[in-house]
């Protein structure tokens, strides 16, 4: 997998913390906007990336690059994915895949037409602990209630209150608590239970963006409450409650470092299959396998999950009245 990396923000710095440990990845090139080119050059040099480009389009024209990784702000995902696909590149795009479900449906169709692979970089779907929880769901009996709280006070919120609006709090850049934090809770639910029957989102909205909010998912026989907050904090906690016991998690759904099975008879079992491995490692190991083996069936399987997650996110935003600039182009 000859990788071309776009962006130089926090998520790209995270990528470099583990990517050298993933077999089958060649760091072929990096690109960014002209204003950030110096940062890209420094990052590339420090992490042994072969080439740098001041222009994204120039990297797309590089025949040595076969896969594009997009670690750019949310509102750029759709357009940059489309450019890469039209240039004949496979694409790994950071979460949230797009701003709206219609954008993702269009990209999925384009990827199929061009026989290219389009994947969402969403750690939750690939974590061994999440997959183990899915195996163990029968242990809690019939699921009744699920609560997931990912509340993390953002230093950017202070700037936001003072009028300095950064991308994480900017509706023109598809930001907000839902797309930044609660999207992980959504993917956790989709990984375990698939698509809900109903979606509702009640949000605290300031300057047109959700700074925090409570989402309810109705799965018929059980209900889920998902909380994502950037304007306040609380102990991170997820509980899957059934009539035979409970699975208790005290780390966020994007890394999920272990869990406890608490049975009604008083017995407990604690598990962690991940150790200290970087949360993004597992997804990239899988991406290499998928792309090298041309496993389009696996691509379709993961795309179905991404489509469900983006459908939930879009319905939630609409129910709360959160409108992105990207919505105006649909």
Residues 77 and 157 in one domain: no
Residues 65 and 210 in one domain: no
Is 112 inside a domain boundary?
yes
Does residue 34 carry a pLDDT above 90? Answer: no
Average pLDDT in the 267-280 region? 96
CA distance 2 to 189: 32
Q: Helix, strand, coil % (nearest 5) of the chain?
A: 45, 25, 30
CA neighbor of 18 nearest in space, from 290, 253, 273, 283: 283
Quote the pTM value: 0.97
Residues 97 and 141 in one domain: no
Average pLDDT in the 74-99 region? 98
Looking at residue 205, its pLDDT comes to 98
Looking at residue 58, its pLDDT comes to 97
How many domains does one find in the chain? 2
Average pLDDT in the 182-211 region? 98
pLDDT tens digits, 276-295: 999 999 999 999 999 999 99
Is 244 inside a domain boundary?
yes
Residues 52 and 161 in one domain: no
Looking at residue 32, its pLDDT comes to 86
Residues 105 and 139 in one domain: no
Is 142 inside a domain boundary?
yes
Residues 144 and 107 in one domain: no
Is 302 inside a domain boundary?
no
For residue 277, with 0-12 CB atoms within 10 Å meaning exposed, 13-18 middle and 19 or more buried, which class applies? middle
Is 293 inside a domain boundary?
no
Torsion sign over Cα 106, 112, 114, 117: positive
Does residue 323 carry a pLDDT above 90? Answer: yes
pLDDT tens digits, 103-126: 999 999 999 999 999 999 999 999
Residues 129 and 49 in one domain: no
Looking at residue 243, its pLDDT comes to 98
Residues 191 and 146 in one domain: yes
Does residue 257 carry a pLDDT above 90? Answer: yes
Residues 76 and 143 in one domain: no
Is 214 inside a domain boundary?
yes
Looking at residue 187, its pLDDT comes to 98
Host domain of residue 231: 125-280+312-329
Q: Which domain CATH number covers 176?
A: 3.30.360.10
| Percentage of residues in the chain having pLDDT higher than 90 | 98
Q: Is the CB of residue 300 less than 8 Å from the CB of residue 115? A: no
Looking at residue 35, its pLDDT comes to 84
Is 148 inside a domain boundary?
yes
| Percentage of residues in the chain having pLDDT higher than 70 | 100
**Reported confidence tier of residue 330, pLDDT bands at 50, 70, 90:** confident
Residues 91 and 165 in one domain: no
276 Cβ contact partners less than 8 Å away, ≥ 6 residues apart: none
């Amino acid at each position: 997998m000859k990788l071309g990396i776009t962006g130089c923000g926090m998520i790209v710095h995270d990528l470099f913390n583990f990517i050298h440990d993933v077999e089958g990845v060649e760091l072929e090139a990096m690109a960014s906007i002209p204003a950030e080119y110096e940062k890209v050059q420094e990052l590339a040099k420090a992490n042994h990336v072969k080439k740098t480009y001041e222009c994204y389009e120039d990297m797309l024209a590089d025949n040595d690059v076969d896969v594009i990784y997009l670690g750019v702000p949310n509102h750029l995902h759709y357009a940059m994915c489309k450019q890469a696909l039209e240039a004949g590149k496979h694409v790994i795009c950071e979460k949230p895949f797009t701003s709206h479900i219609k954008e993702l449906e269009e990209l999925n169709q384009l990827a199929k037409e061009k026989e290219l692979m389009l994947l969402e970089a969403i750690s939750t779907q690939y974590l061994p602990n999440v997959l183990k929880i899915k195996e163990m769901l029968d242990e809690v009996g019939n699921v009744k209630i699920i609560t997931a709280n990912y509340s993390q006070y953002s230093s950017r919120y202070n700037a936001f209150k003072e009028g300095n609006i950064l991308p994480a709090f900017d509706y023109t850049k598809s930001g907000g608590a839902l797309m930044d934090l609660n999207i992980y809770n959504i993917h956790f639910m989709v990984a375990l239970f698939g698509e809900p029957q109903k979606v509702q989102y009640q949000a605290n909205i300031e300057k047109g963006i959700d700074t925090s909010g409570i989402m309810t998912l109705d799965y018929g026989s059980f209900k889920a409450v998902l909380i994502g907050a950037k304007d306040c904090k609380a102990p991170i906690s997820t509980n899957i409650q059934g009539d035979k016991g409970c699975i208790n998690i005290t780390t966020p759904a994007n890394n999920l470092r272990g869990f406890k099975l608490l049975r009604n008879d008083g017995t407990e079992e604690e598990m962690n299959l991940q150790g200290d491995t970087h949360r993004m490692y597992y997804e990239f190991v899988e991406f290499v396998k998928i792309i090298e083996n041309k496993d389009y069936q696996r691509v379709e399987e993961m795309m179905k999950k991404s489509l469900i997650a983006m459908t939930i996110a879009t319905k939630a935003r609409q129910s709360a009245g959160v409108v992105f600039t990207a919505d105006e182009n649909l």
